[in-house]
Amino acid sequence: MFIKTTAIAAVALFACQSAWSACNYPKKIFVPNGTVATEDEMLEGQKAVKQYMVDMNELLDCLEAETSSAVTEGEDPQITVERETIRSKRHNAAVDEMETVASDYNEAVRAYKARQQ
């Protein structure tokens, strides 16, 4: 019985992970180097960062929607915990990436402005 339950749990977890793969990270963007970038390059970088943030927010919405729509009635509690752990890690990684991109761009802007003075 334990082996059968474990096998069912493994298949269910794999199915959950496959569904989660529908939420894909957007393509990584290039943040200009503010110490050498032109104004046009900085403006293009700004547009790219803004679009990246929109795309990342869509990813976060997708992750939330997948979690909300997951069928958990009668589900093994261990699978529910594992699914939430994976979703939480993906969410946190996305937020960390958004913060890094924003910080990198803000640093580039400060370097660009310092160069202009």
What predicted TM-score, i.e. pTM, was given to this entire model?
0.73
User: Each residue of 61-115: pLDDT tens digit?
Assistant: 998 887 766 655 566 777 778 888 888 999 999 999 999 999 999 999 999 999 9
Domain count, the chain: 1
Share of the chain above pLDDT 70, in %: 74
User: Each residue of 4-49: pLDDT tens digit?
Assistant: 544 454 444 445 544 445 889 999 899 999 999 999 999 999 999 9
Domain range for 49 is 2-116
| Secondary structure (DSSP) of the chain | -HHHHHHHHHHHHHHHHHHHTTSPPPPP-PPP-TTT--HHHHHHHHHHHHHHHHHHHHHHHHHHHHHHH---TT--HHHHHHHHHHHHHHHHHHHHHHHHHHHHHHHHHHHHHHHH-
